[in-house]
Structure 1
Amino acid sequence: MSVLDLARPDIRALSPYSSARMEAQGGTVLLNANESSRPPNIPGGEGLNRYPDPQPPALVASLAELYGCDADRILVTRGSDEAIDLLVRAFCRAGQDAVVVSPPTFGMYAVSARIQGASVIESPLDPTGTLDADKLLADVTPAVKLVFVCSPNNPTGNLVGLDDIARLAGELDGRAVVVVDEAYVEFSGTRSAASLVDRHDNVAVLRTLSKAWSLAGARVGALIARPEVIGLLRRIIPPYPLPSPCVDAALGALSYEGRRVQRHHVNEILTERARMLEELPGVPGVREVLPSHANFLAVRFDDASGTYRRLLAAGVVVRDITRYPGLGDALRITVGTGNENDRVLAVLRAGADG
């Protein structure tokens, strides 16, 4: 059985839109895409009068090298969000199919499913924030086409082991695609689930340049999956998903110098994360700091709402995650620069003294 047998039959049979840039390559007089013949008169405008390549070869090659896979296993998307949406639209029939999520986790899995008209089955993490593979497998019904696994998990920061992911993929072979969201994996020091794609055609891995690569504003992500899955999603992705300036920014970040700077930034975050993990538990009002393999900390407070308001009044914006299951007393604090983290600690200590 092919993983494509899980996809919507109408998507498999769909004749994709063929853009002008896809149909013809090369040439010096470009008159096939109804573009302007002249660039805009703005700084950096050279080339912006032309549509970008739908899947820029240089960027695809750089990401394939970075993630240790062949280029035909990469689909470049507008952040991870677009890849999530594409997967749901390709595999889930409205009113018939379902996805599995493990709350508390990233909310876009459920939002994308509900927009598509797919059902959302919740298989919550256990009280320690650990994914229970046995429970999740028991929650998978015949309607399920996608199982979302976030590792490190947002907003708790915990990991799901590769052995557990491999087990899920094996047990769900021919039944569902296991989608592993690794938006924060660069901060974890662990191997990517992309290493499982060779063995399991029902594993798809989400990656992004938004976090560890400092490109949240450029919206560059990637899906790693078997070539047949990549080909399926290329049928439904918009013709020109990535603006040229975003492609240029990504290539700059992935250059030799860009990678050197990235390593420095990640090491700085890991150092500051360790410092905050050490200092926060001693701050009055802090009940618990959850272990984290990401660039943030989920922190339980005696008065989460009051602490949130106090931080905001001091100009410090953190994420209120009290609406998430099991996190009714918690805030998520991104690990910032040393000065930013000092400011967080100072406000928390001042509030406790007051």
Structure 2
Amino acid sequence: MSAPVAGVIDLVREDLRAFGGYRSARSERVDGQVWLNANESPWANPADADATARRYPDPQPADLRAALAALYGCRPEQLLAGRGSDEGIDLLVRALCTPGQGAIVVTTPTFGMYAVVARVQAARVVDVPLDDGADGFTCDFDAVAEAAERAQARLVFLCSPGNPSGTALPLPRIAALARRLAGRAVVVVDEAYGEYASGPSAVTLLDAHDNIAVLRTLSKAHALAAARVGAVIAHAELIAVLQRCQAPYPLPQPCVALAMQALSPPSLATTRERIVTTIMERDALRVALSATPGVRRAYPSQANFVLARFDDAQAAWDALLASGVVIRDFRATPRLGDALRITIGTPEQNALVLETLRGVREAAA
């Protein structure tokens, strides 16, 4: 008789499985008229017009959690709201990787915070680079699985769509990877740019795979980068552990209020329209870049940016900066020594980028 496959809770650090965490004053579900339980000031700050800022916020506002769950297609108990996607990355690494012993797998080029958080936790970072082929960057899922097994990694981070690759990973391959690593590792799918992708979310895989976690954020398509509101979506047991590891008051009330306004039907309708425009501009920019002298390659993208390689990346960088356009320099990244990443702007901003880059070759002629 074969041994039962471990559940996702068995992947959590043993010392944290029953960890109670810090119970703040707002964690106690009690009601009253005179609140004297949190050592708050009884008087509002003169700058606080509606006299609400003196109170600590709800650690996990039920209305925000429900709105985000509806947006992403999960149940509220499967979702933890936090400070952007970054806090979700940090919580997952701290909860699953024992300091000095744990390991994670990443697929470079990718979002740098996975490795940063792992190193702070003294966890090893195992890299399985993406393949750079004719159709853009692709992931070798078999190599990722083998690396995770060899390193006994507890976390595999997949950025989809990738940053800076722009590649969206196929859900059947993600599901197969989760199946292979069941009881061994959690497969984390970072969908910060998911609104710009054409396929379904990895959230659709959660009910079949308890070792998948999905990261989402309101920073990109929803234009709330300064509010710092994101979510981890995963098995309810894992979410409960992550919440116990979270800081007592992660979500400032003004940010919650702003997020709730952004999740209202009128705001969501406007956001959807802008996503469509961004996708059209992205595809047009990529085609135009591919035909621009001096651009060696413009990669296909399912995100809100285009990664491009240049004959003279320094000249392109200098020209754009002289035009007042700031883009992202990836030349210090291994295998991207000639690459720059261009975020999709307004149609007028994108036209300025193209005009400037076309002028680089003319100036050199």
TM-score (norm 1): 0.98
Partner of 1:340: 349
CA distance in 1, matches of 2:325, 2:303: 20
In the alignment, structure 1 residue 32 sits paired with structure 2 residue 41: no
Aligned match of 1:122 in 123, 127, 138?
127
Deviation of the 1:43 alpha carbon = 5.8
CA shift for structure 1 position 134: 1.1
Aligned residue number for residue 141 of structure 2: 133
Residue in structure 1 matching 2:277, options 238, 251, 268: 268
Residue 142 (structure 1) shift: 4.6
How many angstroms apart in 2 are the aligned matches of 1:303 and 1:102?
27
Please give the residue correspondences for 1:176-187 in structure 2 after superposition, counting only pairs within 5 Å.
176-187=185-196
Out of 81, 88, 91, which is 1:83 matched to? 88
The code of the aligned residue for 1:85 comes to D
**Counterpart-to-counterpart distance in 2, 1:135 and 1:2:** 23
* CA deviation map 1:290-333 (0-9, x unaligned): 00000000011001122112211221100001122322111000
Long gaps (5+) in structure 1: none
Q: SS at the partner of 2:132?
A: coil
The code of the aligned residue for 1:54 comes to: P
Measured in 1, the distance between the counterparts of 2:307 and 2:71 equals: 29
Determine the C-alpha separation between the residues in 2 that align with 1:86 and 1:120. 16
In 2, Cα distance between equivalents of 1:257 and 1:350: 41
Q: Once the 2 structures are TM-superposed, how far is the Cα of residue 190 of structure 1 from its aligned partner?
A: 1.1
Which moved further from structure 2: 311-320 or 202-211? 311-320
Aligned positions, number: 354
Partners of 2:76 and 2:220 in 1: CA distance: 22
| Letter paired with 2:140 | D
Aligned to 1:277: 286
Q: Secondary structure at the match of 1:75?
A: strand
Distance 1:311 1:121 in 2: 35
Alignment of 1:67-216 (within 5 A): 67-128=72-133, 129-140=137-148, 141-216=150-225
User: Which shows bigger deviation, 74-83 or 25-34?
Assistant: 25-34
Q: State yes or no: 1:42 paired with 2:50.
A: no
Normalising by structure 2, we get a TM-score of 0.95
Structure 2 Cα separation of the partners of residues 139 and 22 of structure 1: 40
1:44 Cα deviation from its structure 2 partner:
4.8
Alignment RMSD:
1.1
1:49-80 CA distance string (max 9 Å, x none) = 11110000000000111111111001001000
1:345 to partner: Cα distance? 1.1
Q: Residues of 1 paired with 2:39 and 2:225: CA distance?
A: 31
Q: Could you tell me which residue of structure 2 aligns to residue 322 of structure 1?
A: 331
Cα deviation code 1:88-144 (max 9, x no counterpart): 000001111100000000000000000000000001111221001111112122530
Q: Secondary structure at the match of 1:333?
A: strand
**8 Å Cα contact 2:221/2:275 also seen in 1:** yes
Structure 2, unaligned runs of 5 or more: 1-5
1:292 aligns with 2:301: yes
Q: Give me the whole-angstrom Cα distance separating, in 2, the residues matched to 1:201 and 1:331.
A: 37
Answer yes or no: is 1:313 the counterpart of 2:322: yes
Tell me if the contact between 1:127 and 1:326 (Cα under 8 Å) persists in the aligned partners. no
After TM superposition, the structure 1 stretch with the greater mean CA deviation from structure 2, 139-148 or 232-241, is 139-148
Cross-structure match for 1:258:
267
**Identity level (%):** 52
For the 8 Å contact 2:315–2:360, the answer to whether it is kept is no
| Alpha-carbon contact 2:278-2:304 (below 8 Å) kept | yes
CA contact under 8 A between 1:173 and 1:202: conserved in structure 2?
yes
Q: Confirm or deny: 8 A CA contact 1:142 1:175 kept in the other structure.
A: no
> d(CA) in 2 for partners of 1:44 and 1:292?
45
Identify the match of residue 229 of structure 1 among 220, 235, 238.
Answer: 238
Amino acid across the alignment from 1:127: D
CA distance in 1, matches of 2:173, 2:165: 18
